[in-house]
Amino acid sequence: MAKQRVAVITGSGQGIGKGIAEKLANDGFALVLSEKNQEVLDATEKEFKEKGFTVASFVGDVSNPEDQKALVQSAVENFGSVDVFVNKGL
């Protein structure tokens, strides 16, 4: 059996980032959702898990280099690798 691919999506708690994350999840990716707002992130994570998606989440500001490193570390700790990284921008 093939290993599930992993996608990290910044700004994925709402809007365009959330839409990209949902499309990737529907295509079989495990997701690492990243968002600055904890409440927004929690709601999206809950929604996606209820849909049966494989999800981990990270709260942080990816314009900060330390948070960038921590986000990638979180993805690797949760899923072992990163196959796709989507930075939806500011």
The tens-digit pLDDT sequence of the chain (90 residues) is 568 999 999 999 999 999 999 999 999 999 999 999 999 999 999 999 999 999 999 999 999 999 999 999 999 999 999 999 999 765
- Contacts of residue 59, Cβ cutoff 8 Å, sequence gap at least 6: 34, 35, 36, 37, 38, 41
What is the assigned CATH class of domain 6-86?
A: alpha beta
- Contacts of residue 58, Cβ cutoff 8 Å, sequence gap at least 6: 32, 33, 34, 35, 70, 71, 74, 75
**For the chain, domain boundaries:** 6-86
